[in-house]
């Protein structure tokens, strides 16, 4: 087995070093810089040119010894003519050794430029992809034909360069497609147009179906609720009992008042009989008569309160309240609301708009109510009333109370008591403002700016 010579070892080390430098490239442009400059220890060329062959024409990527290319320099201008000739010459895609004699058939500009800037020969090597497609060319300007060993070494090296070129070009295509200057401008313009797109301000809030014609039913006197005669959301007729208060205390007071009236009448009768014989009895007649009338008035007042122990419906409607058990045994005061009597033929929306979601609303703003039981068939209407101040809802959320009518209010679908989510539409704005409105409000609340 023949031992490798020192020159062979040096050549292998140089090839390994060149391949390592190629792997460190982050772009095709950086790789072309390594191709143009790093192979000089192998070939001792005068100059190396790296071309990208992507259509529509060849593009000069790099010139050895130069950090940047001056497009206005005479040499680079001449290369623009020479690369067109080289493109035709290398159309077969195979490595070629081109001499100055081969340029005899070229244009006068190419021949004169060759004589002035290029040496005797140019060695053109293709940089192929794994599929065999030529991606670029590297042209080494040499004084003499390269040897067989240089040909083998450069064949291996161009394979490595072609592979790295393909990988970097694919990555750049993916990135440039997303972030290329033209694509980036289009994306920015599209984003700006979307952010400036006019949108209708809107807010979502919990809501329920109520009635425009509501009558409050309250406790007529102080007492304790003894019985509720109707169920929540039950349809009632005028005169139908709604609830009753406990009458135990009033019954006892009635018995006592009746006895007090009887005593007062007896005292008055005795004074009248003695008035003929005693002047003192005659003087007490007025006092006793007033006392008897007072006792009788108290008795009538208690009887009147007993008659109001049972509250009846003043008209036809639907009894609106939460739960019977919320009222049974509960002490109430005069005027305290027990339930509401609603007219089902005039349905409406009662909306609790949270303060955090509030926006500028005018009477007549469109409202859509998506009921929980019918989320795909919303009820539509217009805003008719807004509260001036916010109040706490039963859930403890500060909210504004809004009312809206229902235009498509089928009594079977817009049943009083149904709940859902209302979407309220305000004025027109731009999408960017709607996106930033709440974050800006929160930031201002935190910073006070």
d(CA 317, CA 214): 9
CATH 2.40.30.170 for the 205-211+343-447 domain, yes or no: yes
Q: Measured at the alpha carbon of residue 375, what is the angle toward residues 370 and 380, in degrees to the nearest 5?
A: 35
Q: Residue 140's pLDDT is what? A: 93
Q: Measured at the alpha carbon of residue 135, what is the angle toward residues 95 and 174, in degrees to the nearest 5?
A: 165
Return all residues near 11 (Cβ < 8 A) that are at least 6 apart: 42, 149, 153
Output the CA–CA distances (angstroms, integers) from residue 254 to 149, 260, 306, in the order listed. Answer: 131, 10, 9
CA 254, chain centre distance (Å): 67
Q: Which of 127, 58, 139, 57 is nearest to 96 (CA)?
A: 139
Query: What are the boundaries of each domain within the chain?
Result: 6-179, 205-211+343-447, 214-246+309-342, 248-308
Can you name the residues that pair with 217 across neighbouring β-strands? 339
103-107 contacts: CB < 8 A, separation 24 or more? Answer: 107/81
d(CA 392, CA 386): 15
Helix boundaries (H) for 90-222: 108-117, 148-179, 181-195
Q: Which of 216, 218, 249, 236 is nearest to 311 (CA)?
A: 218
Q: Residue 165's pLDDT is what? A: 85
Output the CA–CA distances (angstroms, integers) from residue 251 to 226, 254, 259, 291, 300, in the order listed. Answer: 14, 5, 13, 22, 13
| CB-based contact 367:349 (threshold 8 Å) | yes
Burial tier of 409 (Cβ tally within 10 Å: 0-12, 13-18, 19+) = buried
Q: Given phi > 0 = left and psi -120 to 50 = alpha, else beta, which region is 224?
A: beta
Q: Residue 174's pLDDT is what? A: 58
Q: Which of 34, 25, 58, 51 is nearest to 125 (CA)?
A: 51
Encode the chain (449 residues) as per-residue pLDDT tens digits: 444 555 556 667 777 888 888 888 888 888 888 888 988 888 889 999 999 887 777 888 889 888 788 888 888 888 888 888 888 888 888 999 998 888 877 788 888 888 888 998 899 999 998 888 899 999 999 988 888 878 888 888 888 888 888 888 887 665 554 555 677 788 888 888 888 888 888 888 999 888 888 888 888 888 888 888 888 888 899 888 988 888 777 777 777 878 877 777 777 777 777 766 666 656 677 777 778 788 888 878 777 777 778 888 888 888 888 888 888 888 888 888 888 888 888 888 889 988 888 887 888 889 999 998 888 888 888 998 888 888 888 788 889 999 998 886 555 677 888 889 999 988 888 888 888 877 887 787 788 66
d(CA 203, CA 176): 40
Burial tier of 201 (Cβ tally within 10 Å: 0-12, 13-18, 19+) = middle
Q: Residue 138's pLDDT is what? A: 92
CATH 1.10.1740.10 for the 214-246+309-342 domain, yes or no: no
The dihedral through the CA atoms of 325, 328, 330, 335 has a sign that is positive
How many CA within 13 A on the CB side of residue 299? 16
| CB-based contact 214:342 (threshold 8 Å) | yes
d(CA 202, CA 365): 10
Q: For 169, list phi and psi in degrees, rounded to 5.
A: -65, -35
6-179 has which fold? Beta-Lactamase (3.30.450)
The dihedral through the CA atoms of 4, 7, 10, 11 has a sign that is negative
d(CA 443, CA 449): 8
């Amino acid at each position: 087995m023949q031992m490798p010579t020192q020159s062979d070892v040096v050549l292998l080390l140089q090839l390994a070093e060149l391949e390592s430098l190629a792997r460190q490239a982050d772009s095709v442009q950086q790789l072309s810089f390594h191709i143009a400059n790093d192979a000089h220890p192998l070939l001792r060329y005068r100059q190396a040119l790296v071309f990208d062959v992507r259509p529509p024409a060849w593009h000069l990527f790099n010139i050895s010894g130069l950090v940047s290319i001056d497009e206005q320099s005479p040499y680079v201008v001449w290369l623009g003519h020479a690369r067109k000739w080289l493109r035709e010459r290398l159309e077969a895609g195979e490595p070629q050794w081109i001499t100055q004699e081969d340029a005899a058939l070229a244009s006068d500009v190419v021949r004169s430029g060759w004589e002035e800037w290029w040496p005797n020969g140019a060695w053109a090597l293709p940089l192929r992809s794994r599929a065999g497609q030529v991606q670029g060319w590297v042209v080494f300007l040499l004084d003499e034909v390269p040897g067989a060993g240089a040909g083998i070494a450069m064949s291996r090296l161009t394979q490595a360069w072609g592979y790295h070129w393909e990988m970097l070009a694919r990555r750049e295509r993916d990135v440039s497609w997303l972030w290329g200057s033209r694509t980036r401008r289009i994306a920015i313009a599209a984003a700006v147009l979307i952010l400036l797109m006019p949108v209708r301000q809107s807010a979502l809030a919990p809501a329920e179906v109520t009635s425009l014609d509501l009558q409050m039913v309250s406790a007529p006197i102080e007492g304790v609720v003894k019985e509720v005669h109707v169920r929540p959301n039950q349809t009632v007729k005028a005169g139908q009992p709604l609830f009753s208060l406990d009458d135990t205390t009033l019954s006892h007071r009635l018995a006592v008042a009746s006895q007090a009236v009887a005593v007062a009448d007896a005292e008055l009768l005795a004074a009248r009989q003695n008035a003929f014989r005693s002047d003192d009895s005659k003087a007490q007649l007025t006092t006793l008569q007033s006392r008897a009338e007072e006792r009788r008035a108290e008795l009538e007042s208690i009887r009147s309160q007993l008659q109001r122990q049972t509250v009846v419906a003043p008209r036809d409607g639907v009894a609106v309240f939460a739960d019977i058990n919320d009222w049974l045994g509960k002490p109430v005061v005069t005027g305290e609301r027990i339930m509401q009597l609603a007219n089902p033929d005039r349905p409406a929306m009662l909306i609790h708009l949270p303060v955090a979601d509030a926006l500028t609303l005018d009477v007549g703003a469109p409202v859509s109510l998506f009921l929980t039981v019918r989320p795909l068939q919303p009820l539509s209407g217009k805003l008719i009333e807004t509260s001036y101040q916010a109040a706490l809802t039963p859930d403890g959320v500060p909210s504004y109370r809004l009312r809206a009518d229902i235009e498509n209010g089928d009594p079977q679908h817009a049943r009083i008591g149904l709940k859902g989510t209302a979407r309220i539409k305000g004025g027109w704005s731009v999408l960017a403002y709607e996106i930033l409105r709440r974050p800006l409000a929160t930031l201002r609340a935190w910073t006070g700016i």
